[in-house]
Amino acid sequence: MTERRLSGTGVAPRSGAGTGVWYGPDAAVALGDPPDPDSVDAERERDRFEEAREVAREELRRARDRTAERLGESEAAVFDAHVQFLDDPQITEDVDAELDAGYPAEHAVRRAFDRVIEEFADLDGRMAERADDLRDVRDRLLRLLLDEERTDLAALPPGSVVLAERLTPSDTARLDPDRIAGFATVSGGPTSHAAIFARSLGLPAVVGVGEALRDVDDGAEVVVDGSEGTVVVDPAESTLEAAAADADVEVRRDPVATADGTPIEVAANAGTEADVRAAVEHGADGIGLFRTEFLFLDQSSPPTEDEQYDVYREALAAFPDGRVVVRTLDVGGDKPVDYLDRPESENPFLGERGVRRSLGPDADLFETQLRALLRAAGDADGGRLSVMVPLVSTVEEVDAATETLDSVAADLDADGVSNARPEFGVMVETPAAAFLAEDLLDRVDFLSVGTNDLAQYVMAAARGDERVAGLRDYRQPAVLRAIEATVAAAAGTDAWVGICGEMAGDPDLTPLLVGLGFDELSVSPPAVPQIKRAVAETTRSDARELARRALAAATKQEVTEILDASR
Amino acid sequence: MPERVVTVVPEDGLHARPASKFVEAAGEADAEITVGRVDGDQVNAVSMVSVTRLDVEPGEEVRLIAEGDGAEAALDELVRILTTPEDEL
């Protein structure tokens, strides 16, 4: 049998192989017609309803705890809302009325919930999401009332690959990553609850596969490749072997070196406290890109110096022996912040964003952030703190940012506030920064290449525009050469060079990156074990030869062939 | 009856987590509480369905009315929830 490949959106950079198990929550709620009201004992039905509600409440409490532990408080809050729907006076009164009218408990629940669900489902956006929550609560009650032996996600045989139309928050809370090899869904996007969950656990998953997924038979052999975003049905032996190698990656707590002894730091990118926890769990050596936007976005006012200080200190405390590279505020572009004045820009990605704002309209925010960072750097109990500024394109910007850093340090000293001068670096994201790498290195301690933006700007191909995705690819020779210009400039200096874009998280490219001369690779937390393994399997001398050949290639096709041949 | 008019601050408005916290606090209060737009109908603050259905966005004003021994304390707490940015809740 030849293998079939279906594509969707991959949400965790890992593969899993196993037996497909269709999971259909809707199947459990099929009810026949209600019986004759005279044959129903209303009191007994009321007791059944109350009992189911009690068990549901307990289940939700457990789901909440589990989710809080795995994903954090804000994701767990969805279960608080479920409890409130369960206890909603309007719905329970409605259920009561249906019980009085002689409906058995399951029919009463369905009738009462469906009225509200229909009303919410007709509305837009988040009201429709509430309809999903209500369905989730309704189905939980129905399952309990019917004693349904439905597919229990928490008790699937090890090696199952869950296939579903979609997975609700309740469903994802029940997925046990130690047993389940992965999941694939017909609908759902990269920001769905299921996708967030999969990413934070490193669980192989592909969402939004579309109708084609429905043709996969229950019991079929399936490989879910979360890095490519493919579901492979009836996989060939070679595909299975590759997936198996991918699935059992051991977490290495210690730093790694190449097979011939060159140490390479493997750090993680983080944007939330949950990411920092995930980085520790997956054995990252430190944080290579700590995005600070989450502190500033989705709020009505900027975070205070103390609030920021606490966050930076916690990140440092998580890596007592490592390094935490904090990127200063990177807004503008596509990230709206309500309390910041942002003029309309015809092309925000080429407009006032990143360091351009920090040295202009957001100068106050920048100073406050640096104060918090310098104070955190002064704490002896955490790891080393590094600060880097985004979107640099001139030497003057680096000089101005350094001056601000110096003046903030002088202010703190004058106020008698304990602080220390952190390592200072810039992100190389513009062709300008790549061309100027040598001059930048005269002024900073390190460079970190952000490949997503660098590819966008080198190739003049906007991120988010799928029509030019083929251009915006780090296998493009022009992108590789911009990266090489940056790394080469650092050779023989004291500065180190890291890479923190998506390119770093692809284990197929690890030898190339090692060969180019990177000292540090920073990747999404779940990708850390794979990248560490790839580093350990790489020989520096071979990697250099590979990089030399790749850099000589004139087309993306040639680069791809060179990389494929080296695997 | 004690009442307050307050401008809703959380980014999600009276949805999701803020709504959840609001309904939870209303349920724990020793008072009967209703909520609604200043010029609109008041609904039971303990009902997640009713509160969510108001579809209150950040920046909108709502009126809270409370009746019972714990009315003032309950209003203080609910006002706090409605005027606190989401990630500090």
Residue type for A528, please? V
Burial class (CB in 10 A: 0-12, 13-18, 19+), A397: buried
Are A430 and A354 in contact, with CB atoms under 8 Å apart? no
Mean pLDDT of the A423-439 span: 97
Instruction: Provide mean pLDDT across the span A337-341.
Output: 70
Q: Does residue A3 register a pLDDT over 60? A: yes
A313 assigned ligand-binding residue: no
pLDDT exceeding 90 applies to what percent of chain A?
60
Range in A195-204, A551-560, B10-19 with the lowest mean pLDDT:
A195-204
DSSP annotation string for A81-103: HHHHHHT-HHHHHHHHHHHHTT-
- With CA atoms as reference, the chain A residue closest to B83 would be A300
Residues on chain A touching B46 (C-beta within 8 angstroms): 89
A-interface mutation test, from B22, B44, B47, B86, most A Cβ less than 10 A away: B47
- The CA angle A475-A480-A485, to the nearest 5 degrees, is 175
Give me the pLDDT at residue A274, please: 80
Interface touch B17/A298, C-beta < 8 Å: no
In our burial notation (b when 16+ CB lie closer than 10 A, e otherwise), range A241-252 reads ebbeebbebeeb
pLDDT digit string, tens, across residues A504-554: 988 889 999 999 999 999 998 888 998 999 999 999 999 999 999 999 999
- Count of other CB atoms within 10 angstroms of residue A429: 27
pLDDT tens profile A76-101:
888 999 999 999 999 999 999 999 99
On whether any CB of chain B is under 8 Å from the CB of A88, the answer is yes
pLDDT given at position A99: 95
Q: What is the ipTM of this complex?
A: 0.91
**pLDDT score for A334:** 59
Distances (CA, A) of A505 to A254, A266, A268: 19, 10, 9
Question: Has residue A149 got a pLDDT over 70?
Answer: no
Q: State residue A338's pLDDT score.
A: 66
Q: Is A347 annotated as a binding residue?
A: no
Residue with tokens 């279960």: A79
Using the beta-carbon criterion (under 8 Å), do A77 and B27 form an inter-chain contact?
no
Entry field: residues in chain A: 567
Q: Which amino acid is at A233?
A: V
pLDDT of residue B25: 94
Cα separation, A110 vs A139, in Å, equals: 9
* Residue A327 clears pLDDT 90, i.e. is over it: yes
Distance CA B74, CA B84 (A): 16
pLDDT tens digit sequence for A155-204: 788 889 999 988 888 788 788 877 889 999 998 877 677 887 787 777 89
Query: pLDDT tens for residues A233-273?
Result: 999 988 888 887 776 778 899 999 999 999 999 999 998 88
pTM: 0.62
pLDDT value at position A365? Answer: 94
Note the pLDDT tens digit of each residue in A45-78.
999 999 999 999 998 988 888 888 777 777 788 8
Chain B residue numbers touching A90 (CB-CB < 8 A): 44, 47, 49-50
pLDDT of the residue at A29? 60
* Cα–Cα dist A182/A175, whole Å: 9
A327 is in an annotated binding site: yes
pLDDT for the residue numbered A28 = 46
Lookup: tokens for B72: 């003032």
**Residues in a beta bridge with A531:** none
Please tell me if residue A416 touches chain B, with a CB cutoff of 8 Å. Answer: no
From B22's Cα to the closest Cα of chain A, the distance in A is: 11
Mean pLDDT across B4-8: 94
Q: Is A421 annotated as a binding residue?
A: no
Do β-strands A256-257 and A180-185 pair in parallel, antiparallel, or remain unpaired? unpaired
Share of chain A above pLDDT 70, in %: 95
A336, pLDDT greater than 70: no
Rg (CA), chain A: 27
Q: Which of A172, A253, A272, A222 is nearest to A16 (CA)?
A: A222
Whether A137 and A85 have beta carbons less than 8 Å apart is answered as yes
Give the Cα separation of A468 and A464 in Å (integer): 9
Contact B85 A301 (CB under 8 A): yes
| A463 annotated to a ligand binding site | yes
Chain A residues with CB-CB distance to B50 below 8 A: 88, 90
Q: Do A298 and B50 touch (CB under 8 A)?
A: no
The per-residue pLDDT for range B31-67, each reduced to its tens digit, is 999 999 999 999 999 999 999 999 999 999 999 999 9
**What's the rounded Cα separation, in Å, for the pair A382 and A311?**
12
Residue A465 sits at the chain B interface (C-beta within 8 Å)? no
Taking an 8 Å cut-off on Cβ atoms, the answer to whether A91 and B49 are in contact is: yes
Residue A298 above 80 pLDDT? no
A282 is annotated as an active-site residue: no
Please state, in angstroms and rounded to a whole number, the distance separating the CA atoms of residues A525 and A270.
8
Cβ-count burial of A179 within 10 angstroms (0-12 exposed, 13-18 middle, 19+ buried)? middle
Contact: B48, A77; criterion CB under 8 Å = no
* Per-residue model confidence (pLDDT) at position A199: 77
Phi, psi of A384 (to 5 degrees): -80, 140
**Contact with chain B for residue A74, Cβ under 8 A:** yes
CA A69 to chain B, closest CA, distance in angstroms equals 17
Nearest Cβ partner for A80 among B24, B46, B53: B24
